[in-house]
Amino acid sequence: MCVEIFAPQMISFSHFNRMWANSLSGVTKVCGERFLMDVFSHSEGITIECQQDRSQISNKETALRTLQDQLYRQTIERELSERTSARKGQLGTRAQSERIRTYNFNQDRVTDHRIGYEVRNIKEFLCGQGLLDDLISKLVEVAEMEALTEHFEHNCKPLPADS
């Protein structure tokens, strides 16, 4: 994945000259000059400062590389957090209200929690005889009613009230 950071409207540069001195035996001598490069990403609000080398160009390249690494890291972290939250949303809380169907062998009972259907003969249900067909037909009926209700809610206008 490549994070585009070189758009002119997204980055601003500023540079400063810094003199560094050496004081030996009470005498201060200017030993050299370093260039501080400041790179600011407007989209993310990140500022990178670099003054590793004496060259302004190499400091700018180092700062841009560091900024690109940080933006890439943020993008990866954002995608991972989105995936994690989506996965948690799909898994749910495993609460009773999220269950679709319960097979209770101790009580010889099958319950479909979506439509409130309950069967007391689990062996016959699992063999696929009449009780399973009954559940399937009720599920199809409920699905058709929900589809019709949704269609009417989205496509029909309410009647005007008589005043």
Whether residue 19 is predicted with pLDDT greater than 80 in this model: the reply is no
Least Cα distance to 59 among 40, 76, 36 occurs for: 36
Tens digits of residue pLDDT in 38-69: 777 777 777 777 777 777 778 788 888 888 88
Length of the chain: 163
**Do 119 and 105 touch, CB atoms closer than 8 A?**
no
Mean pLDDT of the chain: 77
